[in-house]
Amino acid sequence: MTHLQAQLEEWSNRTEKLQKRLREAGLQGCLVTQNVGIYYYTGAMQTGYLFVPAEGDPTYYVRRSVARAERESKVRAVELVSFRNFGEQLAADYPWLGQSASGQAKPAVGADLDVMPAQLYLRLAEAVPQVSLTDSSSLLREARSVKSAYEIDCISVAANVAADALSEGLEALKEGMTELELMAVIENAMRLRGHVGLMRMRGYNQEIMTGVVAAGEAAAEPTYFDGPAGGRGLSEAAPQSASLRPIGRGEPILIDIGCCIDGYTIDQTRTAVIGALRPELQSAYDTAVAIIRRSEQWLKPGAIPEDLYAEALRMASEAGLSKHFMGFGKDQVKFLGHGIGLEIDEWPVLARGFRSALEAGMVIAIEPKFTFPEWGVVGIENTYVVTETGYRPLTQSPERLFELP
Amino acid sequence: MTHLQAQLEEWSNRTEKLQKRLREAGLQGCLVTQNVGIYYYTGAMQTGYLFVPAEGDPTYYVRRSVARAERESKVRAVELVSFRNFGEQLAADYPWLGQSASGQAKPAVGADLDVMPAQLYLRLAEAVPQVSLTDSSSLLREARSVKSAYEIDCISVAANVAADALSEGLEALKEGMTELELMAVIENAMRLRGHVGLMRMRGYNQEIMTGVVAAGEAAAEPTYFDGPAGGRGLSEAAPQSASLRPIGRGEPILIDIGCCIDGYTIDQTRTAVIGALRPELQSAYDTAVAIIRRSEQWLKPGAIPEDLYAEALRMASEAGLSKHFMGFGKDQVKFLGHGIGLEIDEWPVLARGFRSALEAGMVIAIEPKFTFPEWGVVGIENTYVVTETGYRPLTQSPERLFELP
């Protein structure tokens, strides 16, 4: 098979998987409006709207750049003639759309309403009056949760870059340098190896730079970021991640980093210290390691995501660290790990309520961490792919507490 | 006045300006849900919802982190008790909310529907049944278009960082280095000076790294990015900005960069060349300079944004460069400049349809550029603040074509 054939097969598999879900859900099709979703189903990321019918070929209606979409898209790309008349253009391409067997209620078409702005939603309802737009966020997130071999390779490439960047960071790390200086070394290493310069996150108002590099009590500052460790950040207008605080001796240095290579992201955490950790932190770090080992034992097809979270909670409690697990006190997050791929906050989440069994091909970052408001954050994070028989780690960095002289 | 007093006055002025607009629009208040909008009106950026009543004190209902919001917010921050019962919590704080004088239709409350996801919009409609949410995107964008002295200072700080980063980039620039390598030098320089690691853009699906550094025909590749020059990018999954193309002799090197310091962004463009530009490009560059000079003549309170755009179009046409202005052919963008502040795509836009007169305090990036698909992009961009009598440039970089040996 040529590279091009492989690519076309990769993309047509994605469409077929989605179409199966659409038919099961009784939807006539799905409108994908978010750039990441469009890329996943077309291989292009130009401005426009993708319509995936429950059966038949998708069409990518492009505003700009049509030329580039035509070149890069694996599905048919056409110019969106006019947003106002989008419904007519759809009707010409899909005459059956909006026709209901019973002649009763408007047939439903799914859409990515978790990310589509309300203004666009209201305008689409007018522009495409023949159907009723319904929220298919869960369906779309589930459809992307199992990765193909191609996608797993992409994430592995990103994992290698993160490992190289961590090595460069650790080499540069010395007492008195600021969190930002350490972060800049790591970012520069990732950028020169092809990090696209941003990481994508699906949650509304959620942002991520290239992770969090933070030390001591600055790492423990609570934030809006939906993760166990936020960090002080540089400003109240960017209140997470690295700050200008100098890194001191004997304090935990949380290096929670990721990058985005060819669209795919990786996420990993290592803890470092100049000197040694105080016993309480060393013990909490050991508990984090024990939790990730236990998670690995459970990580296989058929396992229930919320069970892994519950077991981690149990182990944290057994260690007397409940209040410190995954953030401190009221600012704790309620998960142990998260799917990752084109976005860093994909499904499944290892959290209460996620009861669908794990499947081979899911890629999950597991990140047990303990927060001590006065001392900082310790923990570990690896990204794994679930295999037929268990798991394979994608993270390449050596797994240990990095104790520097 | 102490720093704290000045800050409180800054933030209460913002609220008062918004409240005046809300009353004029006949709205009982406004719900701000987007992180940047919340920061603008509270000085904090934690996850939650801000309610600004048309009269009286705003309340910031926080999900996470409440502790950090309480510390950083300039308005009252409280814990959001439950999203499902948000309407009841609002009713307790604002008993008059939703009461209509006529007893007829539900009173309207504005919201940032251009950015709020449809899913949240639909859930809010259920959670806050006493009011009808109406799109106040324009009102909110207009309210932010005139900057305070404090904000202008913030943008100036970012402008200084961008100027330093450009100097470092030009020092490092040499034949054969890749666009990405040059970009990485500039980004590292900005990051070490406090760039927060991302830049914010309001438009749906719009993203920006730290701008575009691109040379030759790679700079001219059309993209989804809503600007005159996109760039090839590193991947179809990030199809804009720097690529791995080596920079050659005699080709235009577009250095369109920005950074975000303490929340505020700057945007500037300079053109460089190793050797000399071909005469057609030199002439187009000179036309860009002539357009920016003409724009400066017109830039003052009372000027109509679309008139500046029309004049630029006229000058491009006079120079025989219509097809090349602000992108090429079908991929042209339809503006000459844009407001800038917390986001890089603020109002006003120098574009058709923007007929409200410029006011002192508006900050606008003006960026005449010419695209030649086979040769690249030339142009210039400065950020200005409109003053009582005209304008003041905020961009600090020397304004010239950088010709390197």
Q: CA-CA distances (angstroms) from residue B326 to A328, B254, B288? A: 50, 13, 10
Q: Helix B179-192 and helix A179-192: axis angle, to 10°?
A: 170
3-state SS, chain B, equals CCHHHHHHHHHHHHHHHHHHHHHHCCCCEEEECCHHHHHHHHCCCCEEEEEEECCCCCEEEEEECHHHHHHHCCCEEEECCCCCCHHHHHHHHCCCCCCCCCCCCCCEEEECCCCCEHHHHHHHHHHCCCCEEEECHHHHHHHCCECCHHHHHHHHHHHHHHHHHHHHHHHHCCCCCEHHHHHHHHHHHHHHCCCCCCCCCCCCCCCCCCEEEEEHHHHCCCCCCCCCCCCCCCECCECCCCCCCECCCCCCEEEEEEEEECCEEEEEEEEEEECCCCHHHHHHHHHHHHHHHHHHHHCCCCCCHHHHHHHHHHHHHHCCCHHHECCCHHHCCCEEEEECCCCCCEEEEEECCCCCCCCCCEEEEECCEEEECCCEEEECEEEEEECCCCEEECCCCCCCCEEEC
- CB of A222 within 8 Å of a chain B CB? The answer is yes
Contact between A179 and A247 (Cβ < 8 Å): yes
- CB of A151 within 8 Å of a chain B CB? The answer is no
Contact between B165 and A207 (Cβ < 8 Å): no
- Three-class DSSP category at A125: helix
By Cβ distance, the residue of A45, A234, A330 closest to B239 is A45
For the segment B166-205, what is each residue's pLDDT rounded down to a tens digit?
Answer: 999 999 999 999 999 999 999 999 999 999 999 999 999 9
Amino acid at B392: R
- Three-class DSSP category at A380: coil
Measure A147 CA to nearest chain B CA, in Å: 16
Q: Quote the pLDDT of residue A347.
A: 98
Average pLDDT score over chain B: 97
Residues of B within 8 A of A14 (CB-CB) are none
- Range A96-102 average pLDDT: 85
- Range A223-231 average pLDDT: 92
Cβ of B150: how many Cβ atoms within 10 Å?
14
Residues of chain B with pLDDT under 50: none
Please judge whether A122 and B114 are an interchain contact, meaning their C-beta atoms are less than 8 angstroms apart. no
Q: Quote the pLDDT of residue B1.
A: 75
Testing the interface with B: which of A119, A244, A343 to mutate, by most B Cβ within 10 A?
Answer: A119
Output the CATH code of domain B3-143: 3.40.350.10
Where do the structural domains in chain A lie, given as residue ranges? 3-143, 149-404
Contact between A172 and A185 (Cβ < 8 Å): yes
Query: Which ipTM was obtained for this model?
Result: 0.97
A103: confidence class by pLDDT, cuts 50, 70, 90:
low
For the segment B332-366, what is each residue's pLDDT rounded down to a tens digit?
Answer: 999 999 999 999 999 999 999 999 999 999 999 99
- CB of B96 within 8 Å of a chain A CB? The answer is no
A262: confidence class by pLDDT, cuts 50, 70, 90:
very high
- CB of B4 within 8 Å of a chain A CB? The answer is no
Indicate the range of A90-104, A233-247, B281-295 predicted with least confidence: A90-104
Selected residues 20-59 of chain A with any CB under 8 Å from a CB in chain B:
33-35, 39, 43-47
Average pLDDT score over chain A: 97
Please judge whether B116 and A204 are an interchain contact, meaning their C-beta atoms are less than 8 angstroms apart. yes
Domain B149-404 class in CATH: alpha beta
For the segment A359-375, what is each residue's pLDDT rounded down to a tens digit?
Answer: 999 999 999 999 999 99
Q: Quote the pLDDT of residue B103.
A: 65
